[in-house]
Every structure is written in structure tokens, then in C-alpha cells.
């Protein structure tokens, strides 16, 4: 899960001339940006900092974007994601409250188990995507996107006031904690050296509170945004730098920024909020129907249910698809054409794949053209290029799932 770069609309701009001017402007106004607990640490590591959803965030370190991307696939990388909104929902009616906002079946979650879900509006549009975890400590732990933090918190507060006025018991607390992601095939081996519990007990989308390299009170969630095995660690804010420094003592671990994070998530076929999903797209159009719990479908008791369930029954006019192509890179807003040259959709995310050595993208097309293998075309800088609808993920995922 990553936010939209509000001012620059994603990070596909990094390799063009205009980005240099944007980057200079970002540096000039950096004093007005919010800073994570690792801001000074990033600067000490010579990170290139950019404005990301109102936060000063590292886009790249000393290694090239491609080197950082491949290191994550082959070893493991550490990402600062402390800009994301962390909150907890408490009270005996906390599950009912959360389910009044999202499409997921929170009641079915076991203790210390989480799920990706969608915050939807009454028209079925996606307000945000977020991870909700049931904890053994009597509350729901929620992580949502930094770029949506203001609207998410306002929406949740407004709905909470209505919920409590109806006589229900729930409350909401926004947390001030650091959040780091460690991603890649070496993650478990590296972390286990400094963990107070057996990491193999944590399967994909489960979590536990433990001591990590001497830092107590860390909530370790086995999840991530790269398609690799990995964890996200919610850490006491004053000890975030300490934990990062401990992890970086291991030769397998390197720092990674937003540039590689974006290409990694695209290879994994994962959506970027604000690019690939937003309030004008529904879970059905975005091919995210799996986020809708079976019980919730039957009950039809989530925001926008009439629209979403109607689309499931009657099909949609457009669908999110993956695309591959050769030639010039395909970027956001690139027109997608059918064989006759008619525009049938638009790219929402795209980049050259460091692993596959070809261009990959995702976008929305008219449903009749959404079948994998369908030959299409894309218009890149007024040049027509062949493309094909491809299954996602583009690169196989390696989540830690015990069968």
C-alpha cells in the first residue's frame, strides 16, 4: 500500500527533463514539508528528497534506481513508510464501526490477522485502500495512505460521531509512531537474528508485538508493497532511527526510496492510490472484488453496495488490465488504442521493468478488450506502439504463505 505524489502525480516523472525542474522546486520549498522520524538520517545518507503527499521523502540513495530495485528482489531493502497514517479503533462496537466504512469482513479476522480493504463512498468509489488488523490487545490497527490522511481522518471522525450518536461504543486514536518496511527474500533471515519471537510463526498478513533488535513494543506485520516476502514494523517514534541503524549493520540490507518502491509495486501488479484507483473507480472496475467479504456481499451493508453489487451482476464497461510493450516507456495518461486505432482507455501507471527488461503498465480499457493476450496499441509521444494485455502480477509474488 503507497500514496499518490499529490503535486507531481506519481513518480514516473523521475526520468524526464521536466522532473529536474520539479525536483529543484521541491528542494526550495522543503522547509514547509512534514518530516518523518528518519528525515535527518536520510539526509546523512545523501538521499535525494522529494515532496511526496506533503512529506519530505527519499526517492533515491547512492545506488541507482535499477540497482536498488534488483537488490530488493535478490536480497532485501529497507523503506521509510512513516508518512503513512497509523490509527487504532477501540470500543466494543469497533468491528461494526469499521465495517460501516469498508467492504471487508473484519468480523472474520482472527487475533493478530489483517486484511487489505477499501474505504468506499456511496457511489461505490474508492476513498482509500488500507490495511485493517484485528489485534490481541482489544483494538483494530489501521494503516492507510499518507496522501489520503486528511480526508480519511475527516471521513472517519464524521462517521464516528454519527455512530456514537446512535448509541454505539467505538473510538478512534491516531498514532505517532515510526513505520519501516523491510522487503526481499533475505528479510526473514536478517530479522530473525534480532527478534524476540520466531518469525516463521507470522504468515502473510498476520502480525505480532515483539522486541526487534532491542527495541520493545514493535508491531511486526508480515506484508508489504513489493510482491516479495517482507514485513512492516510499527516502532516507537523515538527509537525509529536506532532500529534502522541496527538493521543496516547487516550486509544484506540497503536503503531504498520511492523510485524503486514504485517500480517494485508495479511489477507486483499492485495499485497506487490516486493513479490506479480513486473515488471515480469502483472495486469491480479495478478488479479488486476479492476485497469484498462474502458475508458483506450477501448483506449488502457497505457504502456503495447497490452500485458495486450491481456491477458484479451486470458486468462493467471498463476494467483495469496489465499491459506489456517494447520501445519507448509507457507512462501515466498514455492513450490505449484498439487494433483500428480507436481510443479505448488510458494508462494509469507505467515504467520499464528492471526484472523483465520490457515496458509494463496498467490502465483501464473497455471490458471487451480486457482478456489476457488481446493485442492493443499505445500512443507514446505521438508514436503508435504495439502492446498486449497481460496477466498480473508481471513478476510472480513471493509472499510467505504456509499451505
Give the residue numbers of the binding site for substrate. 232
Spatial CB neighbours of 308, under 8 Å, sequence gap ≥ 6: 103, 120, 124, 282, 283, 284, 292, 302
Would you list the DSSP string of 256-285? --HHHHHHHHHHTT---BTTTB-TT--TTT
Q: What angle do CA 162, 164, 166 make, to 5 degrees?
A: 70
Q: Give the number of other Cβ atoms within 10 Å of residue 288's Cβ.
A: 21
- Residue 248 grid cell: 543496516
How far is residue 237's CA from residue 295's CA, in Å, rounded to a whole number?
38
Would you list the DSSP string of 208-261? EEEEETTEEEEEEES--SSSSSEEEEEEEGGGHHHHHHHHHTSTTEEE--HHHH
What are the binding residues? 232
183 HSE (CA, 13 A, CB side): 29
- CA–chain centroid gap for 251, Å, is 27
State the virtual CA torsion across 125, 128, 134, 135 in degrees, nearest 10.
-170
How far is residue 305's CA from residue 378's CA, in Å, rounded to a whole number?
34
Q: Measuring CA to CA, how many Å separate 348 from each of 242, 260, 361? A: 38, 18, 8
**Of the candidates 157, 165, 10, which has an alpha carbon nearest to the alpha carbon of residue 85?**
157
Q: Please answer whether residues 146 and 55 qualify as being in contact, where contact means their C-beta atoms are separated by less than 8 angstroms.
A: yes
Q: Please answer whether residues 192 and 156 qualify as being in contact, where contact means their C-beta atoms are separated by less than 8 angstroms.
A: no
Question: What DSSP character marks residue 392?
Answer: S
How far is residue 344's CA from residue 339's CA, in Å, rounded to a whole number?
10
245 HSE (CA, 13 A, CB side): 11
Q: Please answer whether residues 95 and 110 qualify as being in contact, where contact means their C-beta atoms are separated by less than 8 angstroms.
A: no
Amino acid at each position: 500500500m503507497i500514496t499518490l505524489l499529490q503535486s507531481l502525480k506519481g513518480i514516473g516523472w523521475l526520468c524526464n527533463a521536466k522532473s529536474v525542474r520539479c525536483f529543484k522546486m521541491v528542494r526550495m520549498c522543503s522547509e514547509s514539508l512534514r518530516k518523518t522520524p528518519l528525515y535527518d538520517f536520510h539526509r546523512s545518507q545523501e538521499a535525494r528528497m522529494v515532496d511526496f503527499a506533503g512529506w519530505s521523502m527519499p526517492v533515491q540513495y547512492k545506488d541507482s534506481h535499477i540497482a536498488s530495485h534488483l537488490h530488493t528482489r535478490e536480497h532485501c531493502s529497507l523503506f521509510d513508510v512513516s508518512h503513512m497514517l497509523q490509527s487504532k479503533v477501540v470500543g466494543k462496537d469497533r468491528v461494526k464501526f469499521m465495517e460501516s466504512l469498508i467492504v471487508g469482513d473484519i468480523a472474520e479476522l482472527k487475533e493478530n490477522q489483517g486484511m487489505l480493504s477499501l474505504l468506499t463512498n456511496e457511489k461505490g468509489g474508492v476513498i482509500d485502500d488500507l490495511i485493517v488488523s484485528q489485534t490481541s490487545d482489544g483494538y483494530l490497527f489501521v494503516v492507510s495512505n499518507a496522501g489520503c490522511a486528511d480526508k480519511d481522518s475527516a471521513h472517519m471522525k464524521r462517521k464516528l460521531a454519527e455512530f456514537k450518536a446512535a448509541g454505539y461504543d467505538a473510538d478512534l486514536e491516531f498514532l505517532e509512531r515510526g513505520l519501516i518496511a523491510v522487503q526481499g527474500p533475505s528479510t526473514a533471515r536478517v530479522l530473525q537474528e534480532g527478534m524476540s519471537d520466531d518469525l516463521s510463526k507470522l504468515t502473510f498478513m498476520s502480525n505480532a508485538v515483539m522486541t526487534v533488535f532491542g527495541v520493545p513494543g514493535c508491531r511486526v506485520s508480515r506484508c508489504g508493497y513489493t510482491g516479495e516476502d517482507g514485513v512492516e514494523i510499527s516502532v516507537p517514534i523515538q527509537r525509529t532511527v536506532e532500529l534502522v541503524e541496527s538493521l543496516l549493520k547487516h550486509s544484506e540490507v540497503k536503503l531504498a526510496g520511492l523510485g524503486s518502491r514504485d517500480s517494485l509495486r508495479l511489477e507486483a501488479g499492485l495499485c497506487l492510490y490516486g493513479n490506479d484507483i480513486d473515488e471515480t473507480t469502483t472495486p469491480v472496475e479495478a478488479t479488486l472484488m476479492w476485497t469484498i467479504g462474502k458475508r458483506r456481499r450477501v448483506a449488502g451493508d457497505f457504502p456503495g453496495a447497490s452500485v458495486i453489487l450491481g456491477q458484479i451482476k451486470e458486468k462493467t464497461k471498463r476494467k483495469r488490465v496489465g499491459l506489456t510493450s517494447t520501445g519507448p516507456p509507457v507512462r501515466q495518461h498514455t492513450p490505449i488504442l484498439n487494433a483500428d486505432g480507436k481510443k479505448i482507455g488510458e494508462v494509469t501507471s507505467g515504467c520499464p521493468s528492471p526484472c523483465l527488461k520490457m515496458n509494463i503498465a496498467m490502465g483501464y480499457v473497455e471490458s471487451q478488450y480486457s482478456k489476457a493476450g488481446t493485442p492493443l496499441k499505445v500512443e507514446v509521444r505521438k508514436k503508435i506502439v504495439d502492446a498486449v494485455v497481460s496477466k498480473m502480477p508481471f513478476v510472480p509474488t513471493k509472499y510467505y504463505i504456509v499451505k
